[in-house]
């Protein structure tokens, strides 16, 4: 991970804004069996400035039924700074969210939430800005560490950062790599884990995120949005 330029005024101002937004964060249980469930993801070319952000809204089931989706593209001026990705990703996701005719009750974001060095990853950022319930479900660990994790589906181990549990490494399929679940906004850790498992009946990645990932990558390949 590239070390931020702490003297850069852009960095200092963004951290201050991140801390201001962090004060608006709400941690509380999700409603039982929330539906519809959203998935949010962003795609972009390496070193590129055009971002594609997308939302997919699903009715859980077998298979998940897509009720609505939206994707937009946007030129992003905010530089890449570790720990501040929410400033690059949230504007394009907010624009996609506004295009939805069917709004999700809760959204799984392909990002970290509280499992972040300043407890405000992109899943928190999106949730607070849009004032919607969000859960972070990331494919790789950003910070902290976790202990031994069982091989069975549903096995979990707390992600510890400075001695505090900020998320869970969660096995969504037997003997596959875990995903990393943390609170975004208007959710809590237990209900977040339950939702991620419920939305992962077949694959490692929850269905709504998988569908959003496919949506934005196809839009990027075709230059849509």
Strands 50-59 and 134-138: what pairing?
Answer: unpaired
Is the pLDDT confidence value at 76 over 80?
yes
pLDDT (0 to 100) of residue 183: 98
- Give me the CATH topology for the region 9-222: archaeoglobus fulgidus dsm 4304 fold (3.30.2170)
Instruction: Provide the strand spans (E) within the chain.
Output: 37-44, 50-59, 65-75, 106-109, 134-138, 156-161, 164-170, 179-185
pLDDT band at 43 (very low <50, low <70, confident <90, very high): very high
d(CA 1, CA 123): 20
Place of tokens 């390496």: 46
DSSP state letter for 145: B
Sheet holding 106-109, edge to edge: 65-75, 50-59, 37-44, 106-109, 134-138, 179-185, 164-170, 156-161
Output the pTM of the full model.
0.94
Place of tokens 């069996």: 33
Listed in sequence order, the residues at least 6 apart from 211 whose beta carbon sits closer than 8 Å to its beta carbon are 39, 56, 58, 64, 66, 69
């Amino acid at each position: 991970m590239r070390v931020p330029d702490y003297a850069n005024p852009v960095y200092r101002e963004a951290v201050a804004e991140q801390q201001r937004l962090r004060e608006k964060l709400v941690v509380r249980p999700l409603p039982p069996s929330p539906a519809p469930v959203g998935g949010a993801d962003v795609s972009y070319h390496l070193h590129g400035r055009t971002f594609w952000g997308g939302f997919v809204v699903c009715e859980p089931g077998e298979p998940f039924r897509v009720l609505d989706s939206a994707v937009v593209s946007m030129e992003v001026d905010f530089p890449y700074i570790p720990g501040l990705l929410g400033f690059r990703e949230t504007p394009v996701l907010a624009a996609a969210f506004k295009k939805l005719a069917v709004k999700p009750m809760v959204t799984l974001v392909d990002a970290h939430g509280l499992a972040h060095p300043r407890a405000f990853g992109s899943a928190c950022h999106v949730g607070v800005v849009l004032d919607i319930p969000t859960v972070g479900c990331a494919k790789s660990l950003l910070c902290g560490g976790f202990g031994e994790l069982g091989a069975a589906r549903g096995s979990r181990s707390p992600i510890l950062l400075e001695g505090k549990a900020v998320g869970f490494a969660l096995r969504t399929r037997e003997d596959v790599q875990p995903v990393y679940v943390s609170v975004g906004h208007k959710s809590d850790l237990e209900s977040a884990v339950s939702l991620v498992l419920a939305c992962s009946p077949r694959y490692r990645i929850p269905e709504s995120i998988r569908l959003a990932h496919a949506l934005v990558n196809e839009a990027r390949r075709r230059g849509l949005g």
